[in-house]
Amino acid sequence: MSASPDRGRAAATSVGRALVPVLLAFVVGGVVLAVTGQDPLQIYRLLLEEAFGGGSRIDATLAAATPLLFTAVAAAFAYRAGVFTIGAEGSFTLGGLAAAVVGAHVGSLPPVAAVGSSLLAAVAAGVLVAVVPAVLRAWWKVDEVVTTLMFNFIVAGVAGWAVQAFFQERGQANSATAYVSDAARLEPFFPPNLTNAGLVVALLLVVAYAFWFRRTTLGFEFRAVGATPRFAVAQGLRTRTVVVVALLGAGLVAGLGGGVHALGIVHRYTGGFSASFGFTGIAIALLARFNPVGMVVGAVLFGALNAAGSTIQLFVNLPIQLVDILQGTVMIFAVVQFVLPRLALRRRPAAPEAVIA
């Protein structure tokens, strides 16, 4: 009988912890606004109205949240195994390029085949980005934080060069591919709005993520390796397999997100294709403590900031950098809140009986 209240208290505690970085970020943002002569309450009210004040604004928020859901799930999938990848940004970028290139050449196929082949190319590209970091981490213990971060820069350079050398659309002044064919597009649910089937795919991925860790054997091994890696090794768990699957799976999900973004929103690949979606997804995963529902809420929150911040300047003289300040502050406090308990646990002295043993 006591299980239900305990679960309720645990859920309330998790929600409270997730809200702390957000509230602190808005306090910091309020100070910045006050110093620059703005009314923080008025600005925040406008942000709320522009994010959720009507069907079209909610649609813009959900469209902005969709790529963040993919990258958040990608980060959480790896982090649950104790693998701290920073590579979602690179997989998202190369996945978007692959989907855009394939999508521009499959106009003769039926829509299901055109979309499927484009997304398959995106998935393959996302996994490809993660292969080298996975091998280096699993077999040579090379820090995946360093390798995945560096691969983001490599992928950005390779993608830019590939567009200019092979896929540049004639008549375009910037580095951009041709638009994807009509058959390969993810059409919006309610035109001219933007939300499309990509949001459904992202939500299904969240459900699959939750099922994976609670109902599968490898998901159990993920949790065991992530929580107590030394104990997992001692028990003979497949730690190398877990590391490889964690990194490749994160690349797969992020690459799929890039493909969905290319087919559903941008309809091609251009320079600046990813608005740091991979890095924001990391913050969302940490903010939610890898909880599926928390990641959905976090993605909507960050999506609301992105969607509202770009339009609120029409009403007040507000620098767009405020949104960056809010997002960056949330990221900092989310990481601090995640890391400090672990550092305290490491510094905690061993119990006397453990020392004697």
Q: Is residue 36 part of a domain?
A: no
Question: Which residue is associated with the tokens 């970085």?
Answer: 21
The 10s digit of each residue's pLDDT in 110-137 is 999 999 999 999 999 999 999 999 999 9
Q: Is residue 184 part of a domain?
A: yes
Q: Is residue 291 part of a domain?
A: yes
The 10s digit of each residue's pLDDT in 61-87 is 999 999 999 999 999 999 999 999 999
* CATH (domain of 272): 1.10.3470
What tokens appear for 34 in the block?
């006050």
Report the domain count for the chain.
Answer: 1
The 10s digit of each residue's pLDDT in 240-298 is 999 999 999 999 999 999 999 999 999 999 988 998 999 999 989 988 889 898 899 88
Mean pLDDT taken over the chain: 86
Q: Is residue 132 part of a domain?
A: yes
Q: Please determine, for residue 25, whether its predicted confidence score (pLDDT) is greater than 80.
A: yes
Higher pLDDT, 8 or 25: 25
pLDDT band for position 357 (cuts 50, 70, 90): very low
Q: Is residue 26 part of a domain?
A: no
Q: Is residue 21 part of a domain?
A: no
pLDDT band for position 355 (cuts 50, 70, 90): very low
- Within a 10 A sphere around the Cβ of 311, how many other Cβ atoms? 15
The 10s digit of each residue's pLDDT in 48-60 is 998 999 999 999 9
**Which structural domain range is residue 210 located in?**
69-337
The pLDDT > 90 percentage for the chain reads 57
Q: Please determine, for residue 350, whether its predicted confidence score (pLDDT) is greater than 50.
A: no
